[in-house]
Amino acid sequence: MIIEGVLDHIIFRNEGNGYTVAKFITADSDIVIVGTSMAFHEKEHLRLEGELIYHPKYGEQFAFDRAEKIRPRGKEAITAYLSGGLIPHVGKVTAKRIVATFGEDTLQVIEENPERLREVEGIGKKKLAVILEALKEQKDMRDFFLDAAAFDLTNKEAMAIYKVFGKDAPAVIERDPYALAGKVRGFGFLKADGIARKIGMAEDDPKRIVACMKYVLTNGVLDGNCYLPKDLLMEEAARVLNMDVAFVEEFLQILAVDPDIYLAQRGGVVKIYFLNYFRAEQLVAREIKKRGKVDLAEHMAEDMVNSVCEKLDMTLAEKQKEALMRAVDSHLLVITGGPGTGKTTTLRAIVDAMDRLNLSIALAAPTGRAAKRMEEATGRSASTIHRLLKYDYIDEEGTNSIVSGDDIDADVLIIDEASMIDLLLMRDVLTSLKEKTRLILVGDVDQLPPVGAGNVLKDILDSGEVPSVQLDEVFRQAETSYIVKNAHRINRGELPQVNEKGTDFFFIEESDPNRALQLICDLVKNRLPAYYGVDPMEDIQVLAPMKKGICGIEHLNEALQKTLNPGKKGLASRGFTYCVGDKVMQTKNNYQMPWKSQNKVFDNEGEGVFNGDLGRVKAIDPDGAWLKVLYDDRLCTYTSEYLPELMPAYASTVHKSQGSEFPVVVMPILSGPPMLYTRNLLYTGVTRARKLVVIVGSFQALDRMVQNNRIRWRYSDLDSILKEKREW
């Protein structure tokens, strides 16, 4: 649909992303328009392309995705147009003088010969300079928006490009549209390739082929790899380009000289890295190798074990004693173990030992929830790793960061849930430590690997180059928990024991996905709260292996919202309508997201919301421009720019639950792809529960999942580099 008229006044505009709500006057009627543009000003004459939509509260609106400025006709319309804030220092009086001077030719004069504005009374040399600069900037933006329409770019996409490249945007697109990929939010190779086709770039253009190689490497990193072998990268690029592998490989030399790329050769294999990942892998290995033994008096570690046990009135198992001794005499230690093996007790003993040595301690974890559990276990303050590091800057993808120049102010740093630490985060941790600071990593290596690239904890253990202790004894107080017992059974490839009266692990057979979905909703809303006295929102978390499918998280979230928070008006984003009260999750690290503390004791502000943070929707703008989410005591405002980073969290994937614990976990286990339905995914999901696990689904699918010990290979060389005998 196309409409023409005058933008009467702007009701709301987000200056960060250009999202605009405005009153628009056409020849037939007035209507509210919504869309993205930073180039609009009041009283402008516009031609808009879009569609009529219906807002449940505000009625009919026109959602535009393309806009074109048209010249107003008549002296009165031109005067109104000029006085609408289009040009600095031009109000109603000056606008009338301009129109009185140039008449119907006013706009032509402004566009083609703006210096003539000096002829108008009240416009001197200084005012003219400001006006000319504003007109030039607006013309650049307006011209680019017209160019963008030719490439079938929406206003939102054009705004994202202009925000990065400014007046150079047209030249960038003409010269190399693939430059948009990775630099402009929402633009990857495929979208840039579409633009390249429209400007007539050849299919075998070197820019296109190299851009596709980098696209494949980017996808590899997103899958958790630090690099890709050359042959694999070439094959995948050839598949995407629909070209012969040998032809694509001819352009490898061009890729090799790209400043973002590094080619390494180890074991007869050419390995292609993004340069920052190659440097990170080398740096992490170097820093780890530097952290050796602490210079202590003879028998001091053994004496410390006896002293701690006596003071705390505890009996430590042999492996726990070993962990405590290694914590005392090592600059780097890894402690691993499954549920019920005494990691928390060991942690408390280590903290007490460090106190006795008069060493200052910092506690950290990858997520806010894991940090809270550390606080509960030790009685000490703990923070997320990101807050501890005090990032001054980190890009949207988390690949390039600047950490505060100050080292971490502690003699000992203990990090829990260390299996979640990816390569780049470990790089930043190690470079922020003082030379003599002890680093103790605590985690469960059998859980899922980190979301980011690398497999740091596993690589360190596999290298055999770092002191490590595996706690493998399940203590008597944990043996009564079937959650603990079954977690270890699953890890050994044995089926869990279920449905024992008075226990905490249950399986309900329901192989029909639709009935399983309804059963889960009933469990969450009625049966579990009635029997166990738990809160459906705060205490129960549904964890699923997949996003898609009837019992995938997308359907589960819709069904659970209707069950637990029905009938409210809300704000739609990516196929889900958020309502006040909804349980939500942040899906990526956003280091620039501002928040305000709701703590009545401390009145402070900060930045940063992180992947996996769980919150509740507290308010929604009636005009649909934003919603507010409360994470613990941090209140964040999500505008349209950041809404895609949010997802409903009545149900979440097991991957997104890492680092968190919940009183009750409900898991649908039906048939699914072997790549996802793995033993370590089931193990990770089960170990997220503190009090109760309920699995709904097919026992045959559960059995297949337990037997499927497939661990997806990650291309990472940290373990090999650590084994190398060389001077660092």
Residues making up the binding site for ATP = 340-344
Strand ranges, E, within 147-260:
227-229
Kind and range of the H or E run holding 368: helix 368-378
Which tokens go with 513? 């996905």
* DSSP assignments along 690-705, one per residue: EEEEEEEE-HHHHHHH
Which tokens go with 46? 């516009």
- The partner residues of 638 in beta bridges, in order of sequence, read 627
Find the farthest-apart pair of alpha carbons in the chain and give their distance in angstroms, rounded: 97
* DSSP classification of residue 339: T
What is the C-alpha R_g of the chain?
30
From 719, 702, 270, select the one nearest 509 (Cα to Cα).
702
CB 430, CB 284: distance < 8 Å: yes
CB 459, CB 352: distance < 8 Å: no
Which tokens go with 282? 């080398």
**CA–CA separation, 126 vs 115, rounded Å?**
12
**CA–CA separation, 521 vs 536, rounded Å?**
10
**CA–CA separation, 73 vs 18, rounded Å?**
27
CB 443, CB 658: distance < 8 Å: no
**CA–CA separation, 637 vs 627, rounded Å?**
6
Cα 640–Cα 644–Cα 648 angle in degrees, nearest 5: 115
Which tokens go with 641? 């720019």
Long-range contacts (CB closer than 8 Å, 24 or more residues apart) made by 107-111:
107/71, 107/72, 107/78, 107/81, 110/135, 111/139
Give binding residues as ranges.
Answer: 340-344
**CA–CA separation, 687 vs 229, rounded Å?**
34
**CA–CA separation, 162 vs 168, rounded Å?**
8
- The partner residues of 70 in beta bridges, in order of sequence, read none
Kind and range of the H or E run holding 707: helix 699-707
CB 620, CB 7: distance < 8 Å: no
CB 628, CB 593: distance < 8 Å: no
Orientation angle between helical segments 75-82 and 92-102, nearest 10 degrees = 140
Orientation angle between helical segments 318-329 and 343-356, nearest 10 degrees = 40
Buried (b) or exposed (e) across 315-325, using 16+ Cβ within 10 A? Answer: ebbebbbbbbb
Tokens 């739609």 sit on residue: 572
**CA–CA separation, 339 vs 485, rounded Å?**
9
**CA–CA separation, 228 vs 325, rounded Å?**
40
**CA–CA separation, 404 vs 239, rounded Å?**
43
Half-sphere CA count of 73, side-chain side, radius 13 A: 2
How many residues can be counted in the chain?
A: 728
CB 724, CB 577: distance < 8 Å: no
Which tokens go with 123? 């416009």
